[in-house]
Every structure is written in structure tokens, then in C-alpha cells.
Amino acid sequence: MKYSRGNILFLILIGVALFGALAYAVTQGSRGGGKGDISDEQADIAASQVIQIADDVATAVSRLQIVRGCGDDEFDFANDVHVSRVGGTPLYPSGHNSNAPTSGRCSVFDSRGGGVLPKQTPETAKEFGQTDGGFATGSGGPIVAVIEGVGTSERDLVWVFPHLKRPVCMKINEKLGVPNPSGDLPQDESDGWYSYAGTYAGTVTLGDDDTVLEGRLAFCTDDTAMSSPNDAYYYKVLIAR
């Protein structure tokens, strides 16, 4: 009887070990073979979420232009969700745009204006540990840049989500019909950003280093201006000028 119980215990231990090995193999496989520790399905879902967050901001800007008569220089993006990398201070605090109406009617994240809930990129989309740029991981914000082939030569208002996982950015391009040359992100150099604060200054041009980006209102790139490997950036035009 004792011998039988010993065999049963031995078989149970083997079963536990095999189950653990199987669970580990499944977990490793779901991480997408080393592509940023994210599965293809997770990248697809995260890509849709990133696109939607930026689209919500763009829709609010358009609505405020049409319904509230907000001018290109009157938009306020004050919020405490999107913060700087160093210190975690808000990138766009209250009063960052002195041209914005004090009534809040042109404030994108204010209930008196656009009423958009400010959101960071989802956890699965974030590339942690970046060393370049002023944005904390997951944070984004409005910048001023000329988008090649969009509008005139005037500078445009653009939303940016920097430091995304590469597979997520590639999925974003797939969803938007933007080619990923040779199975990787199209390359573009940001040349340094100019944050939006009511004025359209700076010399930044985006979408001019790869012809597949020309005329695009939204796209993901490998930003060659960044020295760290976390250089996948999503851009969405809010106002084409």
C-alpha cells in the first residue's frame, strides 16, 4: 500500500512539473517571439486603442472649430495626465496658451469645451525606459509641425504619442493603410519638436524622409532623431493648415 501511494505522489509531481513547463511555453509564445514582449493580438488591440485616443482629440478639435468658432491659436490642452519625463510635471498646465478663452469653450479636455477624457497610451503599447524626449512613457500632446503633402506649407497642429512598442506602431500603420517598408517602420527625423502653446513657430517637418508618408494625416514612424531604441512615434494631424 505504501509503495502504491509513493507511485501516485511521484506521478502527481511529474504532472505538476509538466503543467508548469506547458504554462511557461504558452506564456513565452504569447509574447510574440521577442517582438517587444507582446503578442500579435495584443499589438492589434493596443493599436486600435492608440488610434481611438488620438481620434477623440481630433474630433473634439474639429467640433470646437465648427460649433464654438475656436481659432487655430485658441486651443487649450491643459491636463495633468500627460506629463513630462523629468519630474512628472504636466506638459500642458493651465494657462499654457494665453490665447485660449478663459471661459473654457476652446479647452479640449474641459467639460466646458471638448469634454474629452485625457488618456495615456494603454500599458501594452508603452515602451518603457526611454532616455530621449520630454514625454513620460505613455504621455502625449499637441505639437506644431509641417506635415509633408498636407494642407499648404503652413505649420500644422499635430498630436503625438512617442515611445510606443514597435509592433504596436506597425499595426497602426497596417490599420491606416500606411506601408511598412521591408517589414519595418518608415523612417522619419523629427528634427526637434515645437510644443503647441497657441503659436505656430518652429521649423519641424514630418513625413518628408520617406515618400510613403507624404500626404498622410496619421502615421507611425521610426524617429531617427532619437538615439534610444524606443523610437516608434505616432502622429495624428489635428488641424491641417
Dihedrals phi, psi of 82, to nearest 5 degrees:
-90, 110
The whole-model pTM stands at: 0.83
Q: How far apart are CA 100 and CA 171, in angstroms?
A: 36
Angle (CA) 223-224-225 rounded to 5° is: 90
Q: How far apart are CA 112 and CA 114, in angstroms?
A: 7
For 171-197, how does the pLDDT look when each residue is reduced to its tens digit (9 = 90+)?
A: 999 999 999 999 999 999 887 778 999
| Percentage of the residues of the chain whose pLDDT score is greater than 90 | 68
For 18-44, how does the pLDDT look when each residue is reduced to its tens digit (9 = 90+)?
A: 444 434 333 333 333 334 589 999 999
